[in-house]
Amino acid sequence: MNWWRELNNLLKEIENYLNENLKLELNPKTQVFPVEDRGIDFLGYRNFRDYALLRKSSATRFKHKLRFIQANYEELEPQYIISSLMSHLGWLKHCNSYNFCQKYIFNPVVMQIMDDASNRFNIENPLVRCCDG
């Protein structure tokens, strides 16, 4: 944890420099925190040193969207269903989301909804060509 102490010392040096030379103050909430434990929250992901995860609130919004589609898929336009699911899948490809995709996208219920929407739209189900679906 020597690096932790060093980072906090650097923060103090930065504060002193800003105060003395530029007459500026850092926001009192400014802090140094362990990235290995919490990651860096950025653009809908929690980024760690070697991997990225979908932010919890982003995953929750996606699950709500899926539940909405599952409850209303017969009334929804097929283009809406396909574009919505495919755009989310494209977003999930940029993080470590294999298990999430298997559970929420490549499951029998969602695959059947996509098959129905694809048939109504006269195209092949795009999930069949995708990833491990």
Query: What is the domain extent for residue 93?
Result: 55-129
**Does the pLDDT value for residue 133 go beyond 70?**
no
- My answer on whether 42 and 83 are in the same domain is no
What's residue 132's pLDDT? 45
Query: Is-contact 55 99, C-beta < 8 A?
Result: no
Same domain, 78 and 121: yes
In angstroms, the CA 96 to CA 113 distance is 25
- Segment 32-43 shows an average pLDDT of 79
Q: Which residues contact 13 (CB under 8 A, 6 or more apart)?
A: none
Judge if 76 and 102 occupy the same domain. yes
More confident of the two residues 32 and 37: 37
Note whether 69 and 115 are within 8 A (CB). Answer: no
26 or 54, greater pLDDT: 54
**Lowest-pLDDT choice from 10-14, 26-30, 56-60, 75-79:** 26-30
Question: What's the whole-number mean pLDDT along residues 69-90?
Answer: 93
In this predicted structure, what is the pLDDT of residue 111?
Answer: 92
| Confidence tier at 75 by pLDDT (50, 70, 90) | very high
pLDDT at 63: 95
- Tell me the per-residue pLDDT of 2-22, one tens digit each, with 9 for 90 and over: 777 887 888 889 989 999 999
Final residue before a domain boundary, out of 15, 33, 52:
52
